[in-house]
Each structure stands twice: as C-alpha cells, then as structure tokens.
C-alpha cells in the first residue's frame, strides 16, 4: 500500500507564473488536507477536502490559491501568479474516515525566483 504521494518534490517558478502541486492520498482515504510550512516554522493548515468537495478552506489565502479533489485523480493545489512569499514547503496529508491519524506526503518545495 503506497503512502501519500506528492509531485513534484521540487518546483521552481518565476514570479507571476502558476504552480500546480499534486497529491495522491493513500488508498482508501477520502480526506485530504493541505498544509504550508515556512522555514523553521510548524505547519499551517490551508484547506481540507473530500472527494469533489471543499470542506474547510479557512486557512487558504482568498486570492490566487485554489484547491480541488476531483472524483478521479489526485488533489491539486493551484497557486496563480506566484510571489516570493509563496516559497515554502507544501504538504498534503490524507485520513481514513473515522480515523484521527493523518498520513503525510513528502512535500513539494516551491521556490519562487
């Protein structure tokens, strides 16, 4: 049973470009969470999705950021018109229904130049 997969592992974008980060949850997990981690900081919750639904996006910036978890395929975190302040590690985690243990992916390190 493969763990949570994220790709790409490293992503470099110039200011103004778009970044697309992908997350495939563990098999059988229908809950996906996205977190952002700045250097030397803990993780900050961004958004919680179930298949085809955004459940909680209270941690996500109102502009330029969007997330989806379609019926088929991975969850996508999309950042439009990236700025230097978006440089961070982005982690997704998945959870089985009824469980409390989140399984984290290896993260995508986004660098905006």
Binding residues vs another protein (CB under 8 A): 4, 31, 33, 35, 40-45, 48, 55-56, 58-59, 91, 93, 95, 100-107
With a CB cutoff of 8 Å and minimum separation 6, the contacts of 73 are none
Closest CB 22 distance from another protein, rounded Å: 15
Task: Name the residue nearer to another protein (CB basis): 12 or 55.
Answer: 55
CB atoms within 10 A of CB 98: 5
Task: Name the residue nearer to another protein (CB basis): 17 or 89.
Answer: 89
Beta carbons of 34 and 91 less than 8 angstroms apart: yes
Task: Name the residue nearer to another protein (CB basis): 13 or 34.
Answer: 34
Closest CB 73 distance from another protein, rounded Å: 21
Closest CB 81 distance from another protein, rounded Å: 27
With a CB cutoff of 8 Å and minimum separation 6, the contacts of 19 are 11, 13, 78, 79, 82, 86, 110, 112
Cα–Cα distance list, 50 to 11, 85, 104, 113 (Å): 25, 28, 16, 33
Closest CB 98 distance from another protein, rounded Å: 9
Task: Name the residue nearer to another protein (CB basis): 63 or 101.
Answer: 101
> In the numeric block, which tokens belong to residue 65?
């950021």
């Amino acid at each position: 049973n493969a763990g949570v997969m994220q790709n790409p592992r490293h992503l470099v974008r110039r200011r103004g470009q778009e970044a697309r980060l992908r997350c495939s949850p563990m098999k059988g997990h229908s809950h996906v969470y996205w977190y952002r981690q700045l250097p030397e900081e803990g993780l900050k919750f961004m958004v919680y999705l179930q298949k085809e639904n955004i459940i909680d996006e209270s941690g996500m910036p109102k502009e330029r950021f969007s997330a989806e978890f379609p019926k088929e395929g991975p969850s996508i975190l999309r950042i439009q018109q990236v700025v230097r302040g978006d440089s961070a590690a982005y982690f997704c985690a998945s959870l089985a229904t009824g469980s409390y243990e989140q399984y984290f992916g290896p993260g995508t390190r986004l660098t905006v130049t």
